[in-house]
Amino acid sequence: MTDEFYLDPDGASRAAGALRDSGNRLEKSFNALKAVCDHNDQCWGTDEIGAAFANKYVPTATEITVFGATDPKAIVESANNTDKNIDTFEDLDHEAAVRLDRTPPEES
């Protein structure tokens, strides 16, 4: 077990910000993809070839729609939770430092 633990709050906050930005960009990209897919929905027709295409395409497109709507939000929420955890860690670290400063030195 280690005797020390170090967290760079500023570095962790920057990483959380980058993660949040990535989640937001992913959400915008997903929304653009969904708009194109929605616009072209059922363009393959109902003939035999269109039905065969739909048989392979629709389940995957539906899955992308479900996960694409939730995954970016989960990434952003992870970044937000990281920020909260950094704040909690800093608060606990400060409280521990205050307690240590109040502790009288041990007599030898």
Q: What distance in Å separates the CA atoms of residue 55 and residue 92, rounded to the nearest whole number?
A: 55
Helix axis angle, 48-102 relative to 9-39, nearest 10°?
160
Q: What is the pTM of this model?
A: 0.73
- Residues 31-89 have pLDDT tens digits of 998 899 889 888 999 999 999 999 999 999 888 888 888 899 999 999 999 999 999 99
Vertex 1, ends 78 and 7: CA angle to 5°? Answer: 40
Evaluate if residue 108 carries a pLDDT over 70: no
- How many whole angstroms separate alpha carbon 72 and alpha carbon 27? 5
Mean pLDDT of the 96-108 span: 79
CA distances to 18, 21, 68, 77 from 80, rounded to whole Å, are: 11, 11, 19, 5
Contacts of 17 (CB under 8 A, 6+ apart): 79
The count of other CB atoms within 10 Å of the CB of residue 72 is 20
